[in-house]
Amino acid sequence: MDIRKYTKRLTIMMWCVLAAIFPLAMTKADEFSVITRQAAGQTVYFNAWGGSPAINAYIQWVGERVKVEYGITLVHVKLTETAGAVTRILAEKASGKLSGGSVDLIWINGENFATMKTHGLLRSDDWVSGLPSFAYTDPKKLPGIVSDFGTPTDGLESPWGRAQLVFGYDTAYVTTPPNSAEMLAKWIKNNPGQFSYPKPPDFTGTSFLKQILLEVSPEPTVFSLPADQADIDQALMPLWQWLDQVHPHLWQQGKRFPANYTALVQLLGDKEIAIAMAFNPTEFSNGISQGILPETVRSYIHADGTLANVHFVAIPFNANAPEAAQVVADFLLSPEAQIKKADSAIWGDPTVLDLSKLSASDQADFMALPRGLATLSESDLGQTLAEPHPSWVGVIEREWARRYTGQ
Amino acid sequence: MVLRGFIVCFCLVPVLAGLAGIGFPAFGWFPPLGGETFSFAPLTLLFDQPGLWQSIWLSLFTALISTFLSYWLAMMLLAYLYDQRRSAWVFRLISPLLSVPHITVAVGILFLLQPSGWLFRLISLCFTGWDRPPDVSLAPDLYGYALILGLIAKELPFLLLMGLSALSQIEVKALRDRAKLLGYGPISGWFYVIQPLLSVRMRMPVFIVMIFAVSVVDMAIVLAPSIPPPLAVRILEWFWDPDLGFQFIAAAAALLQLMLAFVCCGIWFAFAAVMMRGLGEMTRKGIRFAIPPIAAKGVRFFLLAFAVIPCLLSLLGLLAIIIWSFANVWRFPSVLPDVWGLRGWGQASSDLFQIGFNSLILGLAAAGLSVVIAMVWLETRHGKRWEGMIYIPLLLPQASFLFGLQMLLIWLRLDGAFLTLLWAHSLFVFPYVMLSLVSAWRRFDNRYLDVAASLGVNACRRFFTIKLPMLMIPILTAFAVGFAVSSALYLPTVFASNGRYATLTTEAVTLAASASRQSLGVASVMQMTLPLLVFIGCDLYTRLWATRFRYYRRR
């Protein structure tokens, strides 16, 4: 045997083996530790809705933790309207600002995500699957973490929390809560001035419209497809009929609506209304412990289930500190941060992690979290409705504005 | 001349660029969003928006009524109170409102007049014994009256101050005495002789107030109706719509906003002309308004009440804010908190103090810069040439050029920098500083300088050792005014800072729409404290410092 040929083959084989091993050796964890090193000293501008002191305080805690752990400075840019940051990023793209953008990390889901995805405003190298903490999730058990309102996330956004539409009522004024759209309409008519919902296009307000729509529509399946594939007028008609009959009996005769769910919950605390809603199962327990709500408040969901979805963080294509943003996204997904977030004394946002993948002590921590006075059990929350396709959001909001503006 | 040209550019370049930045998209041309050709499509789409006419009406109605009322209340207060020492308390009551930012006044009115607000708690305690709030809406209401109330509370003090400054340029006593000789009483004398002189000098402040009112965003978010809101708020909503096609509509609406401002000023001009003609007619006929003293007293009482009520309500609102910031639990119908405590302050903690610090630094820098520019402007020897131009940023609706400006700033890579924000603030702070400083500066007796010059003191020393110290009080007042203006700015902060610099105002607007009243209360307390502290600081400084000079002691 030609020894030279042999060595050559051996060398090739060795290279092959090396080539196969190297990416393995350079595991995701190593890759991530490189990113972590690059991230040190960077400042992350986290653009997130800032209307809830509880959430703001949580984000502040995250800032303190990533400062200590990774040397990252986290600045919470408190948005009144998430779409405002989306248009800002678009303006940056329009004027050719391809790096050094003003947003490093943004809290989004649903329609805003769909908009950013179509306009190519997000960092698109599937950075999410490389996050060490992403291994604690299970997309099979919770498909919502890779499919945002039916739009595939494609690694463009990292899951942060889970939410479900939950109603809260004051037992001092309501004995049996109306647990369907039909019963709710009846209750509103019998109890004028005691119900309202946040003004669309507020997130919770629009979600309430979608909830009612899914309940009263004879054919809810059309909403899983894009809106332009359906007869929009006909599909939405049941919703408008429902609203037309209840609007005159709403709080302030339906001529004013609270700006968002925190304002709505405050109205419940003021006893102006008797039923409120929030996109967070522990909101009402939280409100009681904060002294905003009386201790007579309890929560419930509709018998057919309520809307549930996942909310995410994403990195814009021109982020100034993409590495640090990635590290923050990973921290937000870590068991430590998720346990803290699920605590109803802090925020009470349910976790996106799969408990069975966690260490025993983390599991125990999750189990040990107090559920709060007005929080339903996991099994009571079991019934969920899937979000309609995101294209319906704009359609519903626009038609709502056309029908109810200036009446 | 070069210096002045530079300052004018400083004020006008952003405005012109901003106008261009909305002008092109308003006619469909904006390539990044696929608008490649000029068309009227955005305007057509704009007028297809639901409730657009109601938004326009709301903007016009609130702006005209609030300006009209605050102007005439201010004028009549001046007429009645000008030389009455006993009435000084009215000024003392009203002047704190001058330094409080608009959004804080709005939040105060909300805390007072909303269905679960303080007023209804008091009513419930004293009369009705409600245990649940009534389903009514005083603030925010359905027609814009709450917004008008808030605007008057802010505009009346400003117009009073401007009126006082204008009066100092008029020989009030001599003119009144002459009118008296001709048999005109104090009131008719004032309205025939002083008022016309005053109204000419008040034109600029009135237009500033009017244009602010027609384009106000922060107060309107809190106090105005919301379906539909006034035009300026809708522009912001469209600008922030996730459907990016709305950018064109927002631009067209910004153009419409500019038209509304012109319409408002036109209406005011027409009205003023009619008034003048009427006054002229009445003087020719020699009508002397012989009002019996008792009626005059009644009128005076009524007027005072009318002028004082909006301000009193606002001050009560501010009190409600302070209480909320120290309330852990305060349920309806308790008149005072059920549990007092510092929860709001604890939650706010470092975050809010950082934001407060931002506001403080920004305000001090903007006010300082503006005062320096104003002094440079006033020291160049060109009289009033080009002076009208520096007021242009105040005479255009903010929404009409700030959106376009944002695009330009991003394009120049200047967005989000502190200096940019400082510039954006100075655009609005500088004119107010000028308004506050100009009359004192022009009244300065130059003979002091002549004397110094004759003693061989050079120009530089003359300025720093004589003119500057003698004008210290107006300068510091202008500085405090500038700080107050800066701390109240909302849209300029939002658009020039790219969200990177939060100020107490942006924070309060974010919190006002939602959140706990404690946090909002804390933010608002800090917001009213800062300008007040600066005012007090300036005042103390001048008092301490002035005692060294006989020039001031004599007064």
Residues A31-83 pLDDT 10s: 888 999 999 999 999 999 988 888 988 999 999 999 999 999 999 998 888 88
Q: What is the pLDDT of residue A20?
A: 55
Give the pLDDT confidence score for residue A358 in this predicted structure.
92
How confident is the model over B67-83, as pLDDT tens digits? 999 999 998 888 877 76
Helices (H), B240-342: 246-285, 293-325
Residue B366, Cβ neighbours under 10 Å: how many? 27
Top residue of A61, A90, A95, A397 to mutate, by most chain B CBs within 10 Å, is A95
Ordered DSSP codes for A194-263: SB--PPTTSHHHHHHHHHHHHHH-S-GGGGGS-GGGS-HHHHHHHHHHHHHHHGGGSGGGGS---SSHHH
DSSP B432: H
B511: nearest CA in chain A? A51
Enumerate the residues of chain B whose CB falls inside 8 A of the CB of residue A291: 328-329, 339, 343
Which residues face B355 on adjacent strands?
none
Residue A25 has a pLDDT of 47
Residue A54 lies in domain: 28-161+310-368
Answer whether A292 sits within 8 Å of B516, measured CB to CB.
yes
Q: Which residues of B touch A262 (CB under 8 A)?
A: 514-516
Distance (Å) of CA B320 to CA B75, B144, B194: 30, 22, 40
pLDDT, position B344: 82
pLDDT in tens, B341-371: 888 888 776 778 888 999 999 999 999 999 9
Distance of alpha carbon A273 from alpha carbon B123, whole angstroms = 20
And the tokens for B215?
């384009």
- For residue A311, what are the β-bridge partners? A161
Residues A58 and A48 in one domain: yes
Instruction: Locate the chain A residue with the closest alpha carbon to B246.
Output: A87
When CB atoms are compared, the residue of B50, B407, B518 closest to A91 is B407
> Which residues on chain A are in Cβ contact (under 8 Å) with B57?
none
Same domain, yes or no, for A51 and A110?
A: yes
Give yes or no for residue B555 having a pLDDT over 50. no
Residue of A nearest to B50 (CA): A402
Instruction: Please give the Cα distance from A11 to A7 (Å, whole number).
Output: 6
Q: For residues B488 and B98, give the distance between their C-alpha atoms in angstroms, rounded to a whole number.
A: 11
> Do residue A173 and residue A252 come from a single domain?
yes
**Amino acid B357: pLDDT:** 92
Distance in angstroms (rounded) separating the CA atoms of residues A329 and A316: 13
CB pairs under 8 A between A and B: 169
- CA dist A280 and B531 (Å) reads 39
Closest Cα in chain B, distance from residue A227 (Å) = 15
Do A207 and A217 have their domain in common?
Answer: yes
| Residues paired with residue A105 on neighbouring β-strands, in sequence order | A46
Confidence of residue B293 (pLDDT cuts 50, 70, 90): confident
Model pLDDT for residues B233-252, shown as the tens digit of each residue: 999 888 888 777 888 999 99
β partners of residue A195: A275
For the segment A247-258, what is each residue's pLDDT rounded down to a tens digit? 999 999 998 899
- Structural domain total, chain A: 2
Domain presence at residue A19:
no
Q: Report chain B residues whose CB lies below 8 A from the CB of A94.
A: 30, 32-33, 407
Please give the domain boundaries of chain B with CATH numbers for all domains: 1-22+342-555 (1.10.3720.10), 51-224+250-325 (1.10.3720.10)
- What local confidence, expressed as pLDDT, does residue B490 receive? 92
Residues 168-197 of A with CB under 8 A from B: 192-193
- Cα angle A247, A279, B134 (rounded to 5 degrees) comes to 40
Looking at the structure, do residues A282 and A318 belong to the same domain, yes or no? no
CB B498 within 8 A of CB A102: yes
Angstrom distance (rounded) from CA B173 to CA B189? 11
Q: pLDDT tens-digit profile of A154-163?
A: 999 999 999 8
A399 plus A260 within the same structural domain: yes
Contact B191, B300 (CB under 8 A): no
Q: Specify the 3-state DSSP secondary structure of A105.
A: strand
- Chain A, residues 345-374, CB within 8 A of chain B, namely none
Tens digits of residue pLDDT in A11-23: 666 665 555 555 4
**DSSP calls for A134-167:** GGG--TTT-GGGTEETTEE-TTSEEEEEEEE-EE
Distance from the B339 Cα atom to the nearest Cα atom in chain A, whole angstroms: 9
Is the pLDDT at B112 greater than 50? The verdict is yes
Residue A31 has, within 13 A of its CA and on its CB side, a CA count of 14
Do residues A42 and A95 both lie within one domain? yes
| Least Cα separation, residue B117 to chain A (angstroms) | 9
The model's confidence at residue A232, banded by pLDDT at 50, 70 and 90, is: very high
Residue of chain A minimizing CA distance to B340: A291
Q: What is the pLDDT of residue B296?
A: 75
In a domain, residue A2? The reply is no
A119 touches chain B (CB under 8 A): yes
Q: How far is B190 from chain A (nearest CA, A)?
A: 44
Q: Across the interface, which of A102, A269, A290 has its CB nearest the CB of B415? A: A102
Please indicate if any CB of chain B lies within 8 Å of the CB of A240: no
Q: What is the CATH number for A234?
A: 3.40.190.10
Q: Is B439 exposed, middle or buried (0-12, 13-18, 19+ CB in 10 A)?
A: middle
Say what angle helices A391-404 and A232-246 make with each other, to 10 degrees.
50
A248: preceding bond cis by omega (within 30 degrees): no
CA distance A205 to chain B (A): 13
Nearest to A109 by CA among A151, A167, A169: A151
Sign of the CA dihedral with A30 first, then A35, A36, and A38 last: positive
A199 in reach of chain B (CB within 8 A): yes
Using the Cβ of A340 and the Cβ atoms of chain B, whether some distance falls under 8 Å is answered with: no
Three-state secondary structure call for residue A236: helix
> Which tokens hold the place of B491?
């849209």
Chain-chain contact of B50 with A193 (C-beta, under 8 angstroms): no
Among chain B residues, the shortest Cα distance to A287 is held by B516
- Candidate from A91, A401, A404 with C-beta closest to B406: A91
> Is A38 within the bounds of a domain?
yes
CB contact under 8 A, A263 and B513: yes
Q: Cβ of A87 and B142 within 8 Å? A: no
Report the C-alpha gap between A112 and A110 in whole angstroms: 6
Is beta strand A306-314 parallel, antiparallel or unpaired with respect to A384-385? parallel
To the nearest 10°, the Cα dihedral for A90, A96, A102, A106?
A: 40
Q: How far apart are CA A290 and CA B435, in angstroms?
A: 47
Does residue A332 sit within a domain?
yes
Contact yes or no for A271 and B519 at CB 8 A: no
Whether residue A350 is contained in a domain is answered as yes
pLDDT, residue A187, reads 97
Residue A250 domain-assigned (yes or no): yes
More confident site: A273 or A90: A273
Q: What CA–CA distances, in Å, run from B168 to B440, B442, B482? A: 9, 12, 21
Consecutive H or E run containing B351? helix B343-379
Q: Is residue A35 part of a domain?
A: yes
In a shared domain, residues A144 and A185: no
Determine which of A195-199, A233-237, A331-335, B409-413 has the lowest per-residue pLDDT on average.
Answer: B409-413
Taking a C-beta distance cutoff of 8 angstroms, is the pair B204, B390 a contact?
no
Name chain A contacts of B54, Cβ cutoff 8 Å.
Answer: 405-406
- Asked if residue A392 and residue A289 are part of one domain, the reply reads yes
Express each pLDDT in B188-210 by its tens digit: 788 888 888 999 889 999 999 99
Q: At what angle do helices B2-26 and B398-411 cross, to 10 degrees?
A: 100
Is the Cβ of A118 closer than 8 Å to some Cβ of chain B?
A: no
* Torsion-angle region of B205 (φ positive above 0: left; ψ -120 to 50: alpha; else: beta): alpha
Q: Which amino acid is at A245?
A: Q
pLDDT digits (tens, 9 = 90+) for B460-511: 999 998 899 889 888 998 999 999 999 999 999 988 887 788 899 988 888 8
* CA distance linking residue B220 with residue B198, whole number of Å: 30
Cα–Cα dist A254/A189, whole Å: 12
- What are the angstrom distances between the C-alpha of A352 and each of A136, A139, A158, A309, A343? 9, 10, 10, 10, 14
- The average pLDDT across B256-269 equals 94
Query: Is the pLDDT higher at A241 or at A9?
Result: A241
Q: Which amino acid is at A157?
A: E
Q: Return the bridge partners of A277, or none.
A: A167
The CA distance from B448 to B452, in Å, is: 6
Helix (H, G, I), strand (E, B) or coil at A47: strand
| Domain shared by A293 and A319, yes or no | no
* A228 inside 8 A of chain B by CB: no
Banded model confidence at residue B427, pLDDT cuts 50, 70, 90? very high
A240 and A256 in a common domain: yes
Task: Please answer yes or no on whether A83 and B511 come within 8 Å at the CB atom.
Answer: no
Tell me the average pLDDT across B154-181: 87
| Residue environment code for B79-91, b if the CB has 16+ CB neighbours within 10 A, otherwise e | bbbbeeeeeeebe
For A76, list phi and psi in degrees, rounded to 5: -85, 110
Note whether A316 and A286 are same-domain residues. Answer: no
Tokens 């009112």 sit at which residue? B213
Structure tokens at A51: 């209307």
Provide φ and ψ at B340, rounded to 5°.
-80, 155
Residue of A nearest to B132 (CA): A271
Question: Quick one: pLDDT at residue B65?
Answer: 96
In this structure, what token pair is assigned to residue A35? 């990113």
Look at residue B316 in the predicted model and tell me its pLDDT. Answer: 93
Q: CB of A294 within 8 Å of any CB in chain B?
A: yes
Which residues have CB under 8 Å from B352's CB, separation 6+?
Answer: B507, B519, B522, B523, B526
Selected residue of A272, A347, A397 to mutate for chain B interface (largest B Cβ count, 10 A) = A272
Residues of B in contact with A118 (CB under 8 A): none
CA distance A323 to B530: 38
- The SS3 call for residue A49 is strand
Q: What is the 8-class DSSP label of residue A316?
A: B
Tell whether A20 is covered by a domain: no
Substitution target from A80, A173, A268 for chain B, most B beta carbons within 10 A: A80
CA distance B462 to B455: 10
What are the phi and psi torsion angles at A122 (to 5°)? -115, 150
Give me the helices (H) in B27-116, please.
41-48, 52-81, 88-99, 102-113
- Among A136, A64, A129, smallest CA distance to A366 is for A136
- Give the mean pLDDT of chain B: 87
> For A336-341, what is the mean pLDDT?
95
Q: Are B224 and A401 spatial neighbours (Cβ–Cβ below 8 Å)?
A: no
Residues of B whose CB is below 8 A from A259: 226, 513-514
Q: How far is A276 from chain B (nearest CA, A)?
A: 14
